[in-house]
Structure 1
């Protein structure tokens, strides 16, 4: 794979990689630094969930390197190889990731590949799905005196590993679950096994922060059945306050919008 050499701008160095967080979707939720990197990029390698509004901000060459279930043409080692190759040719490379690169975004592999090749690399943070979901719901992720701990966890691990979604889930905690829609029944069982009350409020937000977002609010007992009709990308917020759980939105499918 070959690229034309760039003309260096002010700021973003040639022969460098920026891991840029695209946030939940809306272009106006990008950081100013993310916009700067996009506008000065020579090539952008972007994920499946990056919104077209964000891609429209750059005139750089765009290459899709997204992963889809059952059809993964871009395993991580191949992505590492192409972004490093482009930077070694002197290009300003943006690796554009949905959400925040540091939150379940496989940033570690790409950072390691760049540093191993001696390439300058930086992370430009983006709004992660949990923050976008809470904003869309019009509520905070934490509440003084009720939920003073926030856990970000994934239900999708490396092949052979087991996700312990209930680890650390205690009174006073908000649990934000990523990539969990495929195993809701086991998530429900795991969380109940921690001793969490059956009436803990569970909020599903699909495509948080976009025009296509959808919501379901239910309780921990029955959460798997209540999510019928929802699909990825979605984040799940489970709230176990220090006092009794009280739902704050309409129950289950009545809240589906």
Structure 2
């Protein structure tokens, strides 16, 4: 017979972390859709495909735990406590995130919380916005003869001088997620580290939505251009020569997706 300390943490409860991709339902994976159909509870935020959740997760309890820049009505600790509590009730809890859970999604923290509590947890990868959103704007993150590597960084916190120097020396494409708020520090830091002011920059807002918009500028003028265009989150910032590969920066989303890469 099991002692109290040896009792299973749950009686059928489990957690599935799902990457929702750039926020549209048809870019969810087959496995993600299956997990949503089986969910008893879905904890979601604004960057996942939440608008069709009533159809994707019929009968599930839907809980908005979304965060916006500078405003976290439900803290990360509270999200994890809620996730554990619902699983302990024997429910299948789905944590739906934008992009991929392990790309600045704090998925690793949530997995470790579940494991520490003895709750079974699985993950379903998602299409990272670091690749998908530039692609939606017709911008490849790598291109033969132009960029053979790309680096993805978070714009939540300013980088150190050492990090800026490493980025500038590495070359290739720099993709910044959540970088609107720290754009002044980002651009000045890269320029100070030796990146030319003429390097092209694209700011892609609200990728894969009807409001998608791309602002094209240079490293030296990015802050002014972003202010003039009133760029706002969510947005992906692409820095590098690959920005030149797409010729029609005013194209609608439908045009971008319908045309071969680089077509005007």
Could you tell me how far apart the structure 2 residues matched to 1:123 and 1:52 are? 18
Q: Aligned in 2, Cα 1:215/1:202: closer, same or farther, shift over 3 Å?
A: same
Q: Aligned in 2, Cα 1:142/1:247: closer, same or farther, shift over 3 Å?
A: closer
Q: Equivalent residues in 2 for 1:30-49 (5 A)? A: 30-49=28-47
Q: Aligned to 1:169, what secondary structure does the other structure show?
A: helix
Q: Equivalent residues in 2 for 1:14-93 (5 A)? A: 14-55=12-53, 56-59=55-58, 60-93=60-93
1:215-249 Cα deviation digits (max 9, x unpaired) = 111111111111121100000010157xxx95754
Could you tell me how far apart the structure 2 residues matched to 1:183 and 1:39 are? 38
Could you tell me how far apart the structure 2 residues matched to 1:247 and 1:239 are? 10
1:139 CA displacement: 3.2
Conservation of the 8 A alpha-carbon contact between 2:134 and 2:236? no
Could you tell me how far apart the structure 2 residues matched to 1:126 and 1:207 are? 17
1:256 CA displacement: 9.2
TM-score (norm 2): 0.82
TM-score (norm 1): 0.84
**Structure 1: tracts of 5 or more residues without a match:** 1-12
1:231 equivalent in alignment to 2:227? no
Q: Which segment drifts farther, 123-132 or 34-43? A: 123-132
Partner residue of 1:182? 181
Partner residue of 1:9? none
Partner residue of 2:262? none
1:127 CA displacement: 1.3
Could you tell me how far apart the structure 1 residues matched to 2:247 and 2:194 are? 23
Q: Aligned in 2, Cα 1:217/1:151: closer, same or farther, shift over 3 Å?
A: same
Q: Equivalent residues in 2 for 1:1-257 (5 A)? A: 14-55=12-53, 56-59=55-58, 60-157=60-157, 162-164=158-160, 166=164, 167-170=166-169, 172-228=171-227, 229-240=230-241, 248-249=246-247, 255=250
